[in-house]
């Protein structure tokens, strides 16, 4: 059996205060072999010198320039493009995600789940800090799509997710804003019948640097996938079934 290599995609925008801590956290919690793809938009990004310093003793820490133009959506797409196969984990560069659950996410991947979602809105999950409006909308979207549309996670908007690269190749990305890509991929994966599960997580708002989340600008983009998820599916039948949760 071939050894699993985890690809970690980290979009960054001036994360010099956070990246060294994120790197330490990855090393502390992730014991599976992994490659870290740090995706930046412009050569002056202040994360780059921090990454270059760490690269001196880690050849599996890779800097990737955003190939599709600026913005976090393009950065995530670039990260997916850099991965050839296997599990692909999207992690934020501001140490908001609890990486202590990654090995459990990988266990689920090994069991056959093609999308493993870190979930703030299931029992055991938590969200600490962050703007109230953003939190409320995200929780409402997650819970309503779970209970009304049957989406197998209560936290569709969280970008901290583990995807199988072959599944990503089967899903054309149409998002145009930013972080709504997680929502699009989850709804489409569900519609195509891929096995999806969730694991509780604690999300903490950043303590350094500045959030670039644009709640009003991106709201219509989220709404598009929210409505799509509520629409009756057109001819979709499960590809794989029978996996225990
Ligand atoms: N490459 C790239 N990364 C970005 C951009 N905007 C945000 N990020 C990264 O995406 C992650 C989460 O961004 P953040 O602004 O904290 O969003 P929030 O957590 O939803 O408030 C961080 O690692 C950011 O550095 C961008 O325009 N380009
Ligand atoms: Mg953040």
What Rg do the C-alpha atoms of the chain give, in angstroms? 17
Predicted confidence (pLDDT) per residue in 185-230, tens digit: 999 999 999 999 999 999 999 899 989 888 888 899 999 999 999 9
Pocket flag, ligand 1, residue 190 (CB < 6 Å): no
For residues 227-238, give the mean pLDDT: 74
Residue to mutate, 15, 44, 64, 92, ligand 1, most ligand atoms under 8 Å from C-beta: 92
Helices (H), the chain: 19-29, 48-55, 72-82, 102-110, 132-149, 165-169, 181-191, 215-230
pLDDT at 240: 44
pLDDT, tens only, 115-169: 999 999 999 999 999 999 999 999 999 999 999 999 999 999 999 999 999 999 9
pLDDT of residue 214: 83
pLDDT for position 29? 98
How far, in Å, from the CA of 206 to the mean position of ligand 2? 5
Q: How close is the Cα of 125 to the center of ligand 2, in Å?
A: 17
Nearest atom in ligand 1 to the alpha carbon of residue 41 is 1
pLDDT tens column, 12-61? 999 999 999 999 999 999 999 999 999 999 999 999 999 999 999 999 99
pLDDT value at position 19? 98
Question: Is the entire prediction scored with pTM above 0.85?
Answer: yes
pLDDT exceeding 90 applies to what percent of the chain? 88
Q: How far is the CA of 88 from the centre of ligand 2 (A)?
A: 19
41 C-beta closer than 6 A to ligand 1: yes
Q: Flag whether pLDDT at 245 surpasses 50.
A: no
Helix (H) or strand (E) holding 15: none
Distance CA 115, CA 103 (A): 14
pLDDT category at 1 given cuts 50, 70, 90 is low
> pLDDT grade, residue 237 (50/70/90)?
very low
User: Which secondary structure element, helix H or strand E, spans residue 62, and what is its range?
Assistant: strand 61-65
Nearest atom of ligand 1 to the alpha carbon of 206: 16
Work out the angle at residue 139's Cα, subtended by the Cα atoms of residues 137 and 141, and round it to the nearest 5 degrees.
Answer: 65
Query: What does the mean pLDDT of the chain come to?
Result: 94
Domains defined for the chain, CATH in brackets: 6-230 (3.90.550.10)
């Amino acid at each position: 059996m071939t050894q699993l290599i985890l690809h970690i995609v980290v979009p960054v925008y001036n994360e010099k205060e956070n990246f060294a801590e994120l790197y330490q956290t990855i090393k502390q919690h992730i014991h599976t072999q992994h490659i870290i793809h740090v995706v930046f938009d412009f050569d002056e990004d202040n994360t780059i010198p921090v990454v270059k310093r760490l690269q001196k003793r880690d050849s599996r820490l890779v800097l990737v320039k955003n190939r599709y133009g600026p913005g976090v959506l393009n950065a995530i797409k670039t990260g997916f493009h850099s991965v050839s196969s296997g599990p692909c984990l999207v992690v934020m560069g501001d140490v908001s995600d609890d990486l202590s659950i990654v090995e459990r996410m990988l266990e689920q991947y090994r069991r056959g789940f093609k999308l493993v979602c870190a979930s703030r809105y299931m029992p055991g999950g938590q969200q600490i800090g962050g703007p109230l409006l953003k939190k409320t909308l995200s929780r409402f979207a997650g819970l309503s799509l779970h209970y009304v549309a049957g989406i197998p996670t209560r936290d569709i908007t969280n970008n901290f997710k583990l995807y199988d690269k072959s599944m990503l190749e089967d899903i054309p990305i149409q998002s145009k804003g930013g972080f709504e890509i997680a929502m699009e991929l989850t709804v489409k994966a569900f519609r195509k019948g891929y096995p999806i599960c969730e694991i509780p997580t604690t999300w903490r708002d950043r303590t350094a640097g500045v959030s670039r989340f644009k709640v009003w600008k991106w709201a219509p983009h989220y709404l598009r996938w929210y409505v799509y998820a509520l629409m009756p599916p057109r001819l979709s039948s499960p590809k794989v079934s029978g996996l225990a949760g």
